[in-house]
Chain A
Amino acid sequence: MTGLLEVDKLSKRFGGFVALDGISLSVPAGERLGLIGPNGSGKSTLVNCICGTLRNEEGSVRFDGRPIDGLPAHRRTHIGLARSFQLPRPFVSLSLLDNVRIPLLYTVEARAHHSAQHIDELCHGLLREVGLADKARRLPRDLTQVEMRKLELARAMAAEPKLLIADEAMAGLTHSEIEDILTLLVRLNEQGVTVILIEHIMSAVMSFSRRLVVLVSGRKIADGPPEAVMRDPEVERAYLGQ
């Protein structure tokens, strides 16, 4: 069985430091996958390799049945692989409306022509979905941290992805804010988008994920149903020490 995303023996080195060591991962369509691991375990590096921000030295990544090794990041977004950044990176000189307009213009519009008016409606719809509709004409600097993360998600969603990778979308947020974003991700998943959630907040990961993958110093040490993975002695050792 082949999944939507197939990572095969992926390795990434920074000089002598091995950031990722032979990671293999299969994500079937419709999955809600949680990816956890201590700081520096390679979670973000894995995302960067999957999304084309970094080039992996070894191994291969297949998406939607085709190899995407060597494909530039924008092409990967184009074929349905979207991500949000760990630290929000909004386009600071563009209004929120235009922030979400960019992926629409460069991916959705490029796949099939839409009228400018239709694009406009889609932009407003996306902002409504994340609860930022009343700030559509504002600049990102007027946003609070949680709003910034919502904008980041809206922009990732705007590309109409098949797979969305949310890289620590909830760090530093309050409980109710985390609930907001979880609800959003679950709704997205119910619409058919595969979601990979990278997160430190365990309650969020446990309530969201149907499957959990644990990375420790560049290696995958566990992969399976969340409850089983959390009982895994190796995972306990990684998190709690011996």
Chain B
Amino acid sequence: MRTLPFFLISLVVGAAVFGAAVGIGNEYAFFAGYVVLQYIVLSTAWNILGGYCGYVNFGTAAFFAMGAYSTVAIYKFIADHDLYRMPMPVLVLIGGAVSAVVGFGMGYLTLRLRGAFFAIATLALAVVLQTLVVNWDYVGGSRGAYIIRPETFPLIGSYIRYLFLIMLLLAIAALTIARLIERSRLGFGFATIRDDELAAEASGVPTLRLKLIATTISGALMGMAGAPYPYYIGYLQPDSTFGLDYAVNSIAMPLIGGTTSWLGPLIGAVLLGSLQQLATVTISSAVNLLIVGCLLVAFVIIAPNGIIGLVHKYIQRKDDDFIGRRHVGLDAPAAPPEPAPSATADNPP
């Protein structure tokens, strides 16, 4: 399927989701749905760097917060200077641009780091940025900042519906971008970075440039997801905005869904995000991290390649069975001996 049809179909699906949320007839559906959609964007963005390139980013919260705080800064500036309020899509673009710059910077500074060292560097980045924000009085510092959410939005109704719609479009955009990357030259290049950077360079892949592209796109999408957040929450406070929840969730969701395809983060975010929303309403929000932990342990044991990987394995086993039967014939039920496993069989990606 080409990108345009995919985009149009996801728009239709998005419209259906919005219709369903309206159909529930309870504004809370939008509040809960917003968070799930936000996690679709965040985990898709994480997966572009973490899943496609194999660079684990623990700094999701930092990129998210950069988007959120750029909105706060603009909000303050407009309030101080008595200017017109900026439309939300513009704020989203600005938040995305700010986080894209941060992403590019992070990529540039950590180019030579791999594996655990890269992960620790991203965690450090989050701490540094949080310290900066805490000490930046203009956006509220450690006291936090209040944003007054407008009551309604023309044509759509309540403002939360509007925010929900924005996040829905962002999720569609993020998924389309991720899918586009996957099927392009860029996606193949990302996969070679994940597998073997030395061999990638020898095959003509400019690995440094591709890594910068990945950190920039990934950062931009996270910032876009963060930009509407101050309007959603009403009171933005550094501790929660830079919270570890974002980092943990945006890693756990792709891992549960499957990291090799755009579908993985979507499945993981919908599954885990909905479960968390359900737990928040029925039990308490504190149980969320417990759910994440238990699911992660379960998936590492049962399906290390996520739900997508599990399905693939199932399909492949059926294929192999079929081939095996054909080779051996019906009267010899035993499968032919496996060829000697190669050296790399011990190092799955």
Query: Interface on A for B, CB 8 Å cutoff?
Result: 51-53, 72-75, 77-78, 82-83, 85, 87-94, 98, 101-103, 105-107, 109-110, 140-145, 148, 155-156, 158-159
Determine the chain A residues whose CB is within 8 A of the CB of B260 once the complex forms. Answer: 93
Q: Are B199 and A144 closer than 8 Å at their CB atoms?
A: no
Q: Are B195 and A93 closer than 8 Å at their CB atoms?
A: yes
Query: Interface on B for A, CB 8 Å cutoff?
Result: 185, 188-189, 191-192, 194-196, 198-208, 260, 339-345, 347-349
Can you list 20 A-B pairs, Cβ within 8 angstroms, ordered by A? A53-B202, A74-B201, A83-B202, A89-B199, A91-B196, A92-B347, A92-B349, A93-B260, A94-B191, A102-B188, A102-B189, A102-B192, A102-B200, A102-B205, A140-B342, A141-B348, A144-B342, A145-B342, A155-B199, A159-B204
Determine the chain A residues whose CB is within 8 A of the CB of B342 once the complex forms. Answer: 140-145, 148
Contact of A73 among B194, B195, B201, B343 (CB under 8 A): B201
Q: Are A85 and B199 closer than 8 Å at their CB atoms?
A: yes
Q: A93-B195, A103-B204, A106-B203 are in contact. List 5 more A-B contacts (CB 8 A).
A: A91-B191, A92-B348, A94-B188, A102-B188, A141-B348
Contact of B344 among A83, A101, A140 (CB under 8 A): A140
Q: Are A102 and B203 closer than 8 Å at their CB atoms?
A: yes
Q: Are A106 and B189 closer than 8 Å at their CB atoms?
A: yes
Determine the chain A residues whose CB is within 8 A of the CB of B207 once the complex forms. Answer: 74
Least CB distance from B202 to A in Å reads 6
In the bound complex, what is the Cα–Cα distance between A145 and B349 (angstroms)?
A: 19
Determine the chain B residues whose CB is within 8 A of the CB of A52 once the complex forms. Answer: 201
Q: Are A77 and B188 closer than 8 Å at their CB atoms?
A: no
Known A-B contacts A92-B344, A92-B347, A144-B339; A51 and B188 likewise in contact (beta carbons under 8 Å): no
Q: Are B185 and A144 closer than 8 Å at their CB atoms?
A: no
Determine the chain B residues whose CB is within 8 A of the CB of A142 once the complex forms. Answer: 339, 342
Least CB distance from A71 to B in Å reads 11
Least CB distance from A49 to B in Å reads 14
Determine the chain A residues whose CB is within 8 A of the CB of B189 once the complex forms. Answer: 102, 105-106
Least CB distance from A96 to B in Å reads 13
Determine the chain B residues whose CB is within 8 A of the CB of A88 once the complex forms. Answer: 343-344
In the bound complex, what is the Cα–Cα distance between A186 and B58 (angstroms)?
A: 50
Q: Are B204 and A106 closer than 8 Å at their CB atoms?
A: yes
Q: Are B194 and A74 closer than 8 Å at their CB atoms?
A: no
Determine the chain A residues whose CB is within 8 A of the CB of B348 once the complex forms. Answer: 92, 141
Least CB distance from B338 to A in Å reads 9
| Nearest opposing residue in chain B for A98, CB measure | B188
Q: Are B195 and A92 closer than 8 Å at their CB atoms?
A: yes
Determine the chain A residues whose CB is within 8 A of the CB of B202 once the complex forms. Answer: 51, 53, 73-74, 77, 82-83, 85, 156
Q: Are A141 and B344 closer than 8 Å at their CB atoms?
A: yes
Determine the chain B residues whose CB is within 8 A of the CB of A107 once the complex forms. Answer: 203-204
Known A-B contacts A101-B188, A105-B185, A106-B185; A155 and B203 likewise in contact (beta carbons under 8 Å): yes
Determine the chain A residues whose CB is within 8 A of the CB of B204 once the complex forms. Answer: 74, 77-78, 102-103, 106-107, 110, 159
| Nearest opposing residue in chain A for B209, CB measure | A74
Q: Are B205 and A72 closer than 8 Å at their CB atoms?
A: no
Determine the chain A residues whose CB is within 8 A of the CB of B196 once the complex forms. Answer: 89-92
Contact of B201 among A77, A87, A92, A105 (CB under 8 A): A77
Q: Are B195 and A105 closer than 8 Å at their CB atoms?
A: no
Least CB distance from B307 to A in Å reads 17
Q: Are A72 and B191 closer than 8 Å at their CB atoms?
A: no
Q: Are B201 and A91 closer than 8 Å at their CB atoms?
A: no
Least CB distance from B310 to A in Å reads 16
Q: Are A91 and B347 closer than 8 Å at their CB atoms?
A: no
Least CB distance from B305 to A in Å reads 10
Q: Are B206 and A74 closer than 8 Å at their CB atoms?
A: yes
Least CB distance from A131 to B in Å reads 15
Q: Are B344 and A106 closer than 8 Å at their CB atoms?
A: no
| Nearest opposing residue in chain A for B185, CB measure | A105
Q: Are A91 and B345 closer than 8 Å at their CB atoms?
A: no
Contact of B194 among A51, A75, A93 (CB under 8 A): A93
In the bound complex, what is the Cα–Cα distance between A85 and B341 (angstroms)?
A: 19
Determine the chain A residues whose CB is within 8 A of the CB of B192 once the complex forms. Answer: 91, 94, 102
Q: Are B191 and A93 closer than 8 Å at their CB atoms?
A: yes
Least CB distance from B291 to A in Å reads 29
In the bound complex, what is the Cα–Cα distance between A17 and B341 (angstroms)?
A: 37
Q: Are A103 and B194 closer than 8 Å at their CB atoms?
A: no
Least CB distance from B309 to A in Å reads 11
Determine the chain A residues whose CB is within 8 A of the CB of B206 once the complex forms. Answer: 72, 74-75, 106
Determine the chain B residues whose CB is within 8 A of the CB of A89 once the complex forms. Answer: 196, 198-199
Q: Are A109 and B185 closer than 8 Å at their CB atoms?
A: yes
Least CB distance from A120 to B in Å reads 13
Least CB distance from B262 to A in Å reads 16
Contact of A74 among B191, B205, B343, B349 (CB under 8 A): B205
Known A-B contacts A53-B198, A92-B347, A102-B188; A144 and B340 likewise in contact (beta carbons under 8 Å): yes
Q: Please name the 10 residue pairs, one residue from A and one from B, whose CB atoms are nearest each other, closest first.
A: A73-B201, A106-B204, A77-B204, A89-B199, A107-B204, A91-B195, A103-B203, A93-B349, A141-B345, A102-B203
In the bound complex, what is the Cα–Cα distance between A236 and B235 (angstroms)?
A: 81
In the bound complex, what is the Cα–Cα distance between A145 and B345 (angstroms)?
A: 11
Q: Are A94 and B339 closer than 8 Å at their CB atoms?
A: no
Determine the chain B residues whose CB is within 8 A of the CB of A93 once the complex forms. Answer: 191, 194-195, 260, 349
In the bound complex, what is the Cα–Cα distance between A62 and B220 (angstroms)?
A: 41
